Amino acid sequence: MIQMQYNETILTLPSDRELVITRQFNAPRCLVFEAWTKPEHVMHWWGLSSMTMSVCEIDLRPGGAYRFVLRDADGNEYGFGGKYYEIMPPERLVYTDGFEGLPGHEAIVTTTFEEQGGKTTVISHSLYQSAEDRDGHIHSGMEDGLKDSYARLDKYLATLL
């Protein structure tokens, strides 16, 4: 198993098709879950801070879908999305995650929210269709986006407390 740490965020590679991301946030689980699942919150923290979110749609129900579109300074747009399979507020989400530029390479993601002492640990477990899909995602620059997004989420949650 390979593990990498970026400040408070830990990336673990338990197998050639898996990626586990773990991060603790200084906010209660209900608030973190809400910030993770409501468009009026997600648009404030998801994606690189150098981009703007032009689309943030979330239909939070089994069979529902989400779609986020980021726009860079040159006007290029990058779409991301997936379908929800399981929703257990505020404990767990199971959904697909994909980049519209590479259809057919979606991962199944199980995200859990665990609270202890008023802090919430988010564990996001992605299962990819192949080792190539996982490695492609890792080498796509997702680490920078992840670090930026999670830092922005941390700051945003502080404004909601």
Q: What is the CATH number of the domain that holds 128?
A: 3.30.530.20
Structurally, how many domains does the chain consist of? 1
- Residue 1 reports pLDDT greater than 80: no
SS3 letters for the chain?
CEEEEECCEEEEECCCCEEEEEEEECCCHHHHHHHHHCHHHHCCCCCCCCCEEEEEEECCCCCCEEEEEEECCCCCEEEEEEEEEEEECCCEEEEEEEECCCCCCCEEEEEEEEEECCEEEEEEEEECCCHHHHHHHHHHHHHHHHHHHHHHHHHHHHHHC
Predicted pLDDT of residue 8? 85
Predicted pLDDT of residue 134? 96
What are the tokens at 127?
Answer: 């299962």
Q: Which residues constitute the domain of residue 78?
A: 2-160
The mean per-residue pLDDT over the stretch 11-18 comes to 96
**Segment 32-69, tens digit of pLDDT:** 999 999 999 999 999 999 999 999 999 999 999 999 99
This prediction's pTM: 0.94
**Segment 112-154, tens digit of pLDDT:** 999 999 999 999 999 999 999 999 999 988 888 898 999 999 9
Which of 4-13, 102-111, 115-124, 142-151 has the least mean pLDDT?
Answer: 4-13
